[in-house]
Amino acid sequence: MAKPETMIINMGPQHPSTHGVLRVVLELDGEVVIKATPDIGFLHRGLEKLAESKTYHQCITLTDRLDYVAGMSNNLAYVLTVEKLLGLGVPPRAQAIRVLLCELQRIASHLFWLGTHAHDIGAMTPLFYALRERDEILFLFERVCGSRLTPAYFRVGGLAQDLPDGFAEKCREFIGTFPSHVDEYETLLTKNKIWMRRTQGVGAILADEAISWGLSGPILRASNVKWDLRKVMPYSGYEAYDFIIPTGKNGDVYDRYLVRLMEMRQSSEIVRQVLDKMPGGEVLADDPRVVYPPKAKVGESIEALIHHFHIASEGFAAPKGEVYTGIESPKGELGFYLISDGSNKPWRFRVRPPSFMNLSALSTMVQGRLIADVVAIIGSIDIVLAEVDR
């Protein structure tokens, strides 16, 4: 009898379920995946090279465009790294606002993931509800910084400006009803027999392997590894807030779903605590070498005008040295590694991309599974190709 031949088919880069321009070359035996080879780079824009010709301040807008579903988190990881390089402290109010916005961002990112992931698997209803809530968050962001997806609101040393009037009330309105919305999503999926059949036992990866692949974020926690940078290496004042780290047991698609749902609830809780404890005070460090003068002064005082001009055109020189800072972004550990040669531009601007690392384990996760599972697994990793490719 002739040996059955395998068939090689191409998935992507144009494909509704790859969440961006991802190409996966699938070698199939019938519907079973023998080998899956991801082909990335379709969204590579040379961000790391671009950053080498920009001042530290100008690089902030580049970071918006990494994981574009979680702009605030990218900004935070970057400014924290520059602040570490400079040895610059940030006032408590700025830290609290950063936490608030990043947790809202986590909810927005997970909502987008939830809607699209469910949609890929065939559950089309959650998308409408998830995006409805996410839109509320994007309206909040627009109030704060004028933009929904590319905030560029954080600055080296704090924030571009304080929160607008009425923001706290609108924010409380949102988190007041949000947990009941998560309950709604759960009624659609969590005990849904079809959902459970499509996701339980699918694409599992065990803890040791997950650690070896360098996975991070909900996908690592779903594999029963209790590792969340907000708890184990806290930054920006996260130590002050009370929240739990959900983990899964089996590391499959279903567990990743449960972990992210729980994280949304926890983020909502953190936002409430930040609002309750919000300190007053400045939102920018008092360091004229690095920080812009208040805009009102710029029109009135020549010193302020010169100061503003100097920072806008030349920026500031960072001390010679190198630092790495990682934060817990919605996708996992997002880190920046900056090498400074003592000038006003980074010598090396390295992004540690969680989506890239998480995606690298794809070939392991889909081995021996069906094509339909490939779609579920890619969705469960929660990648943004802009972060994978940079």
**Options 10-18, 25-33, 263-271, 332-340: segment touching other proteins (CB under 8 A):** 332-340
- Alpha-helical runs (H) found in the chain: 47-51, 59-64, 71-86, 92-121, 125-145, 167-189, 193-199, 207-212, 218-222, 229-232, 253-277, 295-298, 302-313, 354-360, 362-366, 371-381, 385-389
Least Å distance, CB 20 to other proteins, is 14
**Binding status of residue 185 toward other proteins by CB under 8 A:** no
Tokens 């700025």 locate to 94
Least Å distance, CB 137 to other proteins, is 29
Token pair belonging to 274? 């930040």
Measured from the Cβ of residue 131, the count of other Cβ atoms closer than 10 Å reads 16
**Binding status of residue 277 toward other proteins by CB under 8 A:** no
Contact pick of 352, 365, 377, 383 for other proteins (by CB under 8 A): 352
Least Å distance, CB 306 to other proteins, is 30
> x/- binding map, residues 213-252, to other proteins, per CB under 8 A?
xxx---------x-x----xx-------------------
Q: In this structure, which amino acid lies at residue 81? A: T
Measured from the Cβ of residue 41, the count of other Cβ atoms closer than 10 Å reads 13
**Binding status of residue 270 toward other proteins by CB under 8 A:** no
Least Å distance, CB 214 to other proteins, is 3
Separation CA 73–CA 260 (nearest Å) = 16
Separation CA 159–CA 291 (nearest Å) = 10
Least Å distance, CB 60 to other proteins, is 19
**Binding status of residue 61 toward other proteins by CB under 8 A:** no
> x/- binding map, residues 78-117, to other proteins, per CB under 8 A?
------xx-x------------------------------
Q: How far out from the chain centre does Cα 206 lie?
A: 23
**Binding status of residue 321 toward other proteins by CB under 8 A:** yes
Question: Quick one: which H or E segment has residue 338?
Answer: strand 332-340
Q: What secondary structure letter does DSSP report for 250?
A: S
Nearer to other proteins, 127 or 210 (CB): 210
Contact pick of 158, 326, 346, 379 for other proteins (by CB under 8 A): 326
What strands, in cross-sheet order, belong to the sheet with 23-29?
A: 7-11, 23-29, 32-39
Least Å distance, CB 204 to other proteins, is 16
Binding site for other proteins (CB under 8 A): 40-41, 44, 46, 48-50, 52-53, 84-85, 87, 209, 211-215, 225, 227, 232-233, 321-324, 326, 333, 335, 337, 339, 347-348, 350, 352, 356-357, 360-361, 389-390
